[in-house]
Structure 1
Amino acid sequence: MMELIKKLIGDKKEYKEQMARAEALPKDYRFVFEKIHGYIWSFASGDGSDMLKTQNELIELFEANAAVGKHVLDVTGEDVAGFCDEFMRDTRKWTDSYRQKLNRSLKDKFGGGRDSK
């Protein structure tokens, strides 16, 4: 139980540090970050620790590109939602269990092949 409390406190501290870094981004980057932040966190699963890693990677990407003067939409592209989906591809999301359940159900029904009846 104590380990869980320590982890939660550490995660909260990490989150606050990340948000301070995001707040320091240039105005356009900060605006896009806030929009992406709301989008990606709507998919967070469990305690959100996987999303913290993804969020940190996003901040690092934005910091690096802002430092060289690149426009934020040159980083994300015009399809920002598509950028987010691709960026989160390896991040555990709450929808993963539903995807697995659907696929498992169909596999159980039809087996490995399409010609199973």
Structure 2
Amino acid sequence: MRIQDIIEGKKEWRVHVARVKALPKDYQIVYKEIEKYLFKVGPVELTDGIDLLSGIVNFFEEGVALGKGVLEVTDSDVAAFCDDLIKDSKTYADIYQESVDQEVNKAMKKVKDKTK
């Protein structure tokens, strides 16, 4: 990654953060929770996470313009809202689950081999 790309990325992020801060407080709170959730669960195929987050801000800005409360936009189950956003993406949670399953399968195979 070139230094210019890093600088541009930081500029984009600052603009994004400014848009979030311009939202009403309830929207900001829910946005931050969504951001935390997505950073934790993490869709791995997402090459540019700012696109997803910017899309959420766009969606929220539309909700504000229509005079809706944030939970009218996302519904009260914000985690389900997030899951729906990334439903077709492989996540870090999926990768972790696969690695756990592989380890369990290896251990079970060793147990079976010893009992033969």
Shared fold, TM over 0.5:
yes
Is 1:29–1:62's contact at 8 Å kept on the other side of the alignment?
Answer: yes
Is 1:45–1:92's contact at 8 Å kept on the other side of the alignment?
Answer: yes
Structure with max Cα Rg: 2
Corresponding residue to 1:74 among 66, 72, 77: 72
Gaps of 5+ in 2: 106-116
Give the Å deviation of 1:98: 4.7
Aligned partner of residue 12 in structure 1, secondary structure: helix
2:39 is the alignment partner of 1:41: yes
Is 1:11–1:49's contact at 8 Å kept on the other side of the alignment?
Answer: no
Q: How many residues align?
A: 103
Percent sequence identity over aligned pairs: 35
RMSD value, Cα: 2.7
Give the Å deviation of 1:38: 1.2
The higher relative CO (CA closer than 8 Å, separation ≥ 6) is in 2
| Structure 1 runs of 4+ with >2 Å offset | 3-9, 43-46, 88-103
Gaps of 5+ in 1: 107-117
Give the Å deviation of 1:67: 0.9
Give the Å deviation of 1:85: 1.0
TM-score normalised to structure 1 length: 0.69
Is 2:19–2:57's contact at 8 Å kept on the other side of the alignment?
Answer: yes
